[in-house]
Structures are given as C-alpha cells and as structure tokens.
Amino acid sequence: MIRSVLRITGLTAAGAALVGCGASGSPVSAPTSPPPRPAASATHETAPTMAPGPGGHTPVFMRAAAAEGDAAKTVALTFDADMTADQGPRAERGERFDNPALIETLRTLKVPSTVFMTGRWAEEYPAQAKAIGTDSLFEIANHSYSHHAFSSPCYGLPEIGAKDMLTDVRRAFAAFEKAGARNVVPYFRFPGGCYDDTALRALAPAGVTAVQWDVVSGDAFASDADAVAEQVLGGVRPGSLVVMHCTRSAAPVTQEAVRRIVPELRRRGYRFVKVSELMR
Ligand SMILES: [Zn+2]
C-alpha cells in the first residue's frame, strides 16, 4: 500500500539550529500520492522512490501519512554521518566524525535505521561505510559528497553552485561503491535541509528522492541526552521521520539518547523502520 505523503509547511523548529545539518529549512511543497517507480540510480533495487515533481523536479519526502491502528505506528530514525569536504585536516588531528558506538547500540537494540552519509565520510571511514552498507539492519543514503550548501544561506556552509550539484551527489554514490557498501538507497538529504527549486531541478537527473524530516532531535552539539530524548519523544507521531547524527564530535550524546528513546517508543507501540519502508 502506498501512503500519501504529507504536505508539510511548518516544520518544528524546536531546539537550537543544527549547524550545517538538521534545522528546519524552508520546506517546498511535496507531491502528493506518488506512485513508486524503479530506482533509476540505486544499487538497492527494492527501495521505493517517489515520482518526480512538477517539471521533473526531485521529489521531497518528509514523513509518512498516519494510518489507523498500532500496526501502522512506525517511525524512522535517521542519522546524518556528516563530514565536510574540507574537514580532512581536523580528522588528521584526531577529531572523530564517526560514531561506532552509536552503530553498535543500534545493532544491539535491533533498530533498523537509515544513515545519510557524506561521500567524504565514506572516504575517511571506508571500513565503517562498508560495515554499515553490508548490514541488512541499515541502509545508506546520500548526504552529498561535500556537505556544502545546496541553497544559501544555510548555517554558514560554503555554497555549491548549481552546476556542481549533480556531480557532488554522484561523487558520494561513487565513494559508497568504492568503500564496498551495497545497501545504498536512492535518497538524498540536503546538507542543513536547505534547498530551493534550482537545487531540486539540478538533481533531477540523479533520480533521487530528497528526504527531510518532521522531528528535529536537537542532538547536534547537545550535552544533555535526556533533553534530546525528551524532544524526540515529544515530537514523534505515527509515520515520523527523526533526524539525528552519527558524528561523535558534533553530536556526543546521541548514543545515550537513543538508549532512552528506543525502549520508550517501543513501549508506546512504535516499530522502527528504515526510510525505504516508511516510504512504502
Ligand atoms: Zn549534515
């Protein structure tokens, strides 16, 4: 069954703005009731995608429409594995843009999850990219290669020109493939969630579905796991899509927050799904 996609015009902007990743952008209306179509550029052939929007624009998914009953109480936790193209020197100095303990926690708790990975992250941590991308618990989606802004202003991120957008996205897919990741889905999250019509048009040839969110976890630069957990637990409703981070230096309490969020949402009758299932 295909659920309709909600047209959301007012995302919750609770919590601090996530630098470079995750605050509410200026939502563009999404197409409604999209039929699935074969993934044009996916290595994961079973992942549903949305039909292109008007003018062939890249479609945008934010959350699933709620269906009746507990069986439909699904929620997708998504984790942005951020690393910007110019952060290599910081990684060399010891800054950790990965978060293996978080991934292990998701495995222990058996939480199917979608990791929105930058190509630069996959280059820095190829073994982890492969491990995540060959574990059926996870799917890897595209978070650009460079983590630069696809529309501006966007939390101070350097801007990528329209002519370079498609190349940047394809470069990230190539980095996943080079790392050996196989569970790659044709979804794309704009860095910072920032996009406009120009960006949606520029990415149309990539055949991706853009994925936003309706619940901001506030995990970026947070120091209080309870506050993050409370914000998520207060925001989730059936069909929700939660944005969190898999970048230890910028989101140090995410693992701890997940340990609190997961059992509580299960107690409330929620089932965790990957974005590809949420989109069905
Ligand atoms: Zn990001």
Instruction: Summarize pLDDT for 196-211 with one digit per residue, the tens.
Output: 999 999 999 999 999 9
Q: What is each CA distance from 277 to 12, 47, 198, 273, in whole angstroms?
A: 23, 8, 28, 6
Question: Rg of the chain's alpha carbons, rounded to an integer?
Answer: 17
Element at 202 (helix H, strand E):
helix 197-202
Query: What contacts 111, CB < 8 A, 6 or more positions away?
Result: 77, 137, 258, 262, 272
pLDDT for the residue numbered 70: 61
CATH number at residue 190: 3.20.20.370
How close is the Cα of 98 to the center of ligand 1, in Å?
Answer: 13
For residue 35, report the distance from its CA to the centre of ligand 1, in Å. Answer: 28
DSSP states along 24-69: -----PPPSSPPPB--SS-SSTT--BPPP-GGGPPPEE--BPP-SS
Distance 128 CA to ligand 1 centre (A): 18
Residue 34 lies in a domain: no
CA of 84 to the centre of ligand 1 (A): 9
8 inside domain:
no
In a domain, 270, yes or no: yes
Q: Return the pLDDT at 67.
A: 66
Ligand 1 centroid distance, CA of 79 (Å): 9
Distance separating alpha carbons of residues 152 and 135, to the nearest angstrom = 35
Between the CA of 240 and the centroid of ligand 1 the distance, in Å, is 19
Distance 129 CA to ligand 1 centre (A): 16
Distance between CA atoms of 171 and 208, rounded to whole angstroms? 14
Residue 216, pLDDT above cutoff 50? yes
Range of the domain at 197: 54-278
For 46-72, the pLDDT digits (tens) are 799 999 988 889 999 999 987 666 667
**Number of structural domains, the chain?**
1
**Residue 113: exposed, middle, or buried by beta-carbon count in 10 A (0-12, 13-18, 19+)?**
buried
Tens digit of each residue's pLDDT (9 = 90 or more) over 70-117: 667 999 999 999 999 899 999 999 999 999 999 999 999 999 999 999
How many residues are there in the chain?
Answer: 280
Cβ–Cβ < 8 Å for 114, 179: no
CA 143 – ligand 1 centroid, Å: 7
pLDDT attached to residue 46: 79
Q: Are 81 and 116 in contact (CB under 8 A)?
A: yes
- Find the 130 Cα to ligand 1 centroid distance in Å: 20
Q: Is 28 among the domain residues?
A: no
Share of the chain above pLDDT 70, in %: 82
20 within some domain: no
Ligand 1 midpoint to CA 24 (Å)? 12
Q: For residue 2, how far is its CA from the centre of ligand 1 (angstroms)? A: 28
Q: What is the largest CA-CA distance in the chain?
A: 51
The confidence score (pLDDT) of residue 40 equals 40
pLDDT digits (tens, 9 = 90+) for 178-202: 999 999 999 999 999 999 999 999 9
> Does 2 reside within a domain?
no
Mean of per-residue pLDDT scores for the chain: 86
Residue 7 lies in a domain: no
CB neighbours of 177 closer than 8 A, spacing ≥ 6?
43, 184
Report how far ligand 1's centroid is from the alpha carbon of 70 (Å). Answer: 32
And the tokens for 138?
A: 């996870």
24 pLDDT higher than 50: no
pLDDT at 27 over 80: no
pLDDT above 50: residue 130: yes
pLDDT tens for residues 240-269? 999 999 999 999 999 999 999 999 999 999
Q: Looking at the domain assignment, is residue 9 inside a domain?
A: no
